[in-house]
């Protein structure tokens, strides 16, 4: 009798344990499935959004090139180049409209969310170089140049056997005094290859009366290229804001620094094939705080040249240096190797991240889209 009772109680315990495990397991399994379904749905939406951004031209198809820029005219959003059938080729004018504080016109985040029908979702977009360039200036003077260059992937792994081309651009004094001083833009090239640690050294001795120096480093590895620029010495303060809209170059006086007149000496475009001089300025090409706070000029066919950024050589007054030939570069942030540092909102909760390699002005970039549900 006692044995039958023990067996009965033991059977009840076993059944109870099975029941408890089933009761606990079913909600847990349901939660995992629901979480997976939510993640998959979020990923599907992110993929749809990313394809719309990089494959669609938007409407009007040239909305980024309109001047003056009016976001209320945009009916559909997309960054694709309307004059090409190639996939993942983006229009630089459209991309530039995503750069905050662009004096030529900025497309607001909420407007893009509306166009993409993302009222219940948030997103953040960045367009960055496919690998990182770290440059350390080891120069002993403005003429004796030496740079240590390190190239790594985004996970900090070194990139060996990368071709490094240093385009050294400098402002050269040609004569004259005070406001009549004349400067020209000059260039030289040096090349190197990274070792197994992703490093190389670039050095060059300049001759003549050098006023200011900048170096554009173009890196190519496995057919993929990127670029970064460095100043030798402190960068100039607020010389001019540089932008390009279609075939037009627009220079804006930075009103935070209302110094004397600045005369435009030279404008040159950095392209995949090197430096292309576009314009030799005169005393009529002036930027100042009052009557000439904006300068623009159209260069027919400029956009087809695919300039990555522009070098501007200006006769200007710098703090502590007096009047001199001064180099500056733009648009921001093109000369840093990125196109968009970040555009959109702040990620919340579960986030889906997608990446694609895109091409802008013959240069490759990594586009990263993060998407999340906000309600």
SS3 state at 366 = strand
Instruction: Supply the pLDDT for residue 163.
Output: 96
Rg of the chain over Cα atoms, rounded to whole angstroms, equals 28
**Mean per-residue pLDDT for 303-325?**
85
SS3 state at 87 = coil
Beta strand extents in the chain (DSSP E only): 121-128, 132-137, 144-152, 163-175, 182-193, 199-205, 210-221, 224-231, 241-245, 248-252, 262-271, 274-280, 286-287, 294-298, 309-318, 322-330, 340-344, 351-360, 363-373
User: What CATH number has the domain spanning 132-336?
Assistant: 2.60.40.10
Q: How far is it between the farthest Cα atoms of the chain? A: 120
**Distance (Å, whole) CA 373 – CA 136:** 42
**Distance (Å, whole) CA 313 – CA 168:** 14
Instruction: Supply the pLDDT for residue 33.
Output: 53
236 versus 247: the higher-pLDDT residue is: 247
pTM: 0.83
pLDDT at residue 181 tops 90: no
How does pLDDT run across 223-233, given as a tens digit for each residue?
888 888 888 77
Confidence category of residue 14, pLDDT binned at 50, 70, 90: low
Q: Where are the domains of the chain?
A: 1-129+339-375, 132-336
How does pLDDT run across 279-299, given as a tens digit for each residue?
999 888 988 877 788 899 999
């Amino acid at each position: 009798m006692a044995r039958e009772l023990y067996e009965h109680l033991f059977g009840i315990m076993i059944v109870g344990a099975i029941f408890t495990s089933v009761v606990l397991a079913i909600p847990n399994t349901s939660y995992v499935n629901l979480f997976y379904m939510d993640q998959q749905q979020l990923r599907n939406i992110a993929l749809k959004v990313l394809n719309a951004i990089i494959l669609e031209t938007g409407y009007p198809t040239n909305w980024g090139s309109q001047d003056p820029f009016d976001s209320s005219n945009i009916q559909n959003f997309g960054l694709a180049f309307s004059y090409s059938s190639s996939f993942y080729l983006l229009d630089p004018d459209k991309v530039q409209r995503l750069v905050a504080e662009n004096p030529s016109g900025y497309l607001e985040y909420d407007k893009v969310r509306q166009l993409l029908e993302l009222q219940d979702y948030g997103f953040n977009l960045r367009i960055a170089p496919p690998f990182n360039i770290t440059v350390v200036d080891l120069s002993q003077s403005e003429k004796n140049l030496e740079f240590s260059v390190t190239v790594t992937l985004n996970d900090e792994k070194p990139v060996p056997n990368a071709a490094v081309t240093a385009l050294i651009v400098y402002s050269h004094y040609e004569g004259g005094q005070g406001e009549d001083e004349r400067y020209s833009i000059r260039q030289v090239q040096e090349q190197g290859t990274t070792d197994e640690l992703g490093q190389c050294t670039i050095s060059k001795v300049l001759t003549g009366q050098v006023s200011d120096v900048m170096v554009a480093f173009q890196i190519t590895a496995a057919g993929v290229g990127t670029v970064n620029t460095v100043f030798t010495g402190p960068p100039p303060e607020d010389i001019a804001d540089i932008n390009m809209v279609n075939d037009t170059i627009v220079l804006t006086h930075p009103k935070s620094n209302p110094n004397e007149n600045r005369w435009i000496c030279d404008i040159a475009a950095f392209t995949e094939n090197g430096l292309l001089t576009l314009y030799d300025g005169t005393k009529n090409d002036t930027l100042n705080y009052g009557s000439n706070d904006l300068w623009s000029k159209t260069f027919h066919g400029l956009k087809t040249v695919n300039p990555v950024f522009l070098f501007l050589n200006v006769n200007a007054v710098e703090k502590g240096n007096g009047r001199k030939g001064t180099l500056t570069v733009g648009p921001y942030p093109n000369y840093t190797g990125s196109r968009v540092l970040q555009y959109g909102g702040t990620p919340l909760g579960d986030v889906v991240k997608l990446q694609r390699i895109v091409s802008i002005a013959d240069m490759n970039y990594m586009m990263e889209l993060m998407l999340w549900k906000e309600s």
